[in-house]
Amino acid sequence: MLSRPLLCALALLPLVACQLGRAPSEPGPTEGSSPGDPSGPLLPPREPDIVARLSGRVLAPEGTIPIAGALIYVTSRRPPPIPDGVYCDRCVRLPEGTPHVRSGADGRFTLPLPWVGPLHLVVQKGAFRRVRPIEVRPGDQDLAAELTTLPGRMDKESGDDIPRMAVVVGAWDKIEVSLAKLGLGKLSWFGVDKASLAFDLFEHGLFPNPRDPRSPERLLRDPETLMKYHVVFLPCSGSEGTTCTDRTSADPVVQRNLQQFVARGGKLYVTDYTYDFVRQIFPGYMDWIGQTQQIGSACMERSYDAPADVQDAGLRDWLAAQGIVDFQVRENWTAVERVNTVDALDLDGQPVRVTPKVWVEALVPQHGRRPATVSFVRGCGRVLFSTYHTEGRGDRMGLLPQERALLYVLLETAVCVEPRVLE
């Protein structure tokens, strides 16, 4: 049973980060000094007695894919909801003494606790967060999967938050199908059941109509609409056959809006033929094979499948935990020549040198190994690019390794952003 003083202390535990809806970075070790003797030796704090252990496994919304690196903690109150629109998700520390743990590559965790009684369990990865009341009992306690599965829909009243996502429907890369397979909607014979989706589709009609609230033009050219979202997907599109003709990325209004969206904390996800939304709007971070000053010059006439070489240890361990060691990335229609270090400003407006992170490399015919999945921080947000289609050519009901990698990278790039200093 919790003592009254301890209950009072617990009442102060809600996350500082929850003002922004987040609690991303783990607290570091704490130190103390002898009272009244500032020059005396540092004394480590007394470790609390462990009276309970919570064990479980964090899963994706579809219920089987493990989630690595999720934050699991307990608190006496429900944290405030995550903001509805774009916001700067700064990394902050949990209050000292908050019991917390990260899930492993297989999604499993054990959380030691010095308390028993009624508490709130928080399971979070990026803006996906589930909060549930639990009764902690003495000893070991296995948590039901419902408590540790990330939500697939927004239900703030029940304690479920997911990022607000906008998908511009691509002509060639059906990323909405991949998102549905990950548990964010249902599939239909013709693609996805639109009524079931936990994200918004912006789709071209027979005739462009910027006044249509669900037109891509409205999303990209109206800052009020754009800023309602946390993540925007721009999958492969914008071509006549294999000739890329879409000049939307060169529109100054679109450029300004997307730059502001990312700077304020938005996440922009771009695939293959839409690469100019990275090259034109965030120049310098990457060079593409075949690029010139012309829009669409790096679009390839033929796709290629390529053996994947995973560069990120966390992604490699996570895939291995699911039995995936060797795989190909399918339907690549562009190729990145190199990534570059760029002088930029961090989320506080301070100078910083940013080198894009390469998650996956692929063996490009006649060019050797090149970056295939890349992300970089820009202001308070991130930009993610892949040379290949998200959904490739696979079983519509199953998930390709590259679709699983999408989930991992999407969640990793959706975590908080820390200020960095110029090296």
pLDDT tens digits, one per residue of 340-395: 999 998 888 899 999 999 999 999 999 999 999 999 999 999 999 999 877 655 55
The C-alpha angle 338, 308, 383, rounded to 5 degrees, equals 50
So what CATH class is 165-413?
A: alpha beta
What does the mean pLDDT of the chain come to? 84
Burial level of 280, CB count in 10 A (0-12/13-18/19+)? middle
Of residues 247, 231, 265, 240, the one with CA closest to residue 348: 265
Side-chain-side CA neighbours of residue 127 (13 Å) = 29
Confidence bin at 6 (pLDDT 50/70/90)? very low
Whole-number pLDDT of residue 419: 61
CATH 3.40.50.880 residue ranges for the chain? 165-413
Helices 313-321 and 401-413 cross at an angle (nearest 10°) of 130
Give the pLDDT confidence of 120-143 residue by residue, as tens digits. Answer: 999 999 999 999 999 999 999 999
Position 171, amino acid: A
Whole-number pLDDT of residue 255: 98
Whole-number pLDDT of residue 423: 29
Q: What is the largest CA-CA distance in the chain?
A: 77
Whole-number pLDDT of residue 246: 85
Whole-number pLDDT of residue 11: 40
Whole-number pLDDT of residue 314: 96
- Which SS3 state, helix, strand or coil, does residue 36 take? coil
Confidence bin at 239 (pLDDT 50/70/90)? low
Whole-number pLDDT of residue 45: 54
Q: Which of the given ranges, 83-87, 168-172, 191-195, has the highest pLDDT on average?
A: 83-87
Beta bridge partners of 201: 167
The tokens describing 22, both together, are: 């987040």
- Encode 202-228: b = buried (16+ Cβ within 10 Å), e = exposed: bebeeeeeeeeeebbbbbbbbeebbbe
Q: Is the separation of the CB atoms in 159 and 132 below 8 Å? A: yes
In the block, residue with structure tokens 């190729």: 335
Whole-number pLDDT of residue 25: 33
Give the pLDDT confidence of 178-209 residue by residue, as tens digits. Answer: 899 899 999 888 788 999 999 999 987 767 67
Whole-number pLDDT of residue 80: 82
Beta-carbon contacts of 413 under 8 Å, excluding residues fewer than 6 positions away, are 267, 375, 382, 384
Whole-number pLDDT of residue 241: 65
Q: 28-37, 95-104, 292-301: which has the minimum mean pLDDT?
A: 28-37
Residue 311 and residue 405: Cα distance in Å, rounded?
Answer: 12
CATH 2.60.40.10 residue ranges for the chain? 4-29+45-161
* Superfamily per CATH, domain 4-29+45-161: Immunoglobulins (2.60.40.10)
Give the pLDDT confidence of 309-329 residue by residue, as tens digits. Answer: 999 999 999 999 999 999 999
**How far is the CA of 218 from the CAs of 9, 208, 259, 421, in angstroms?**
49, 10, 16, 37
Whole-number pLDDT of residue 66: 96
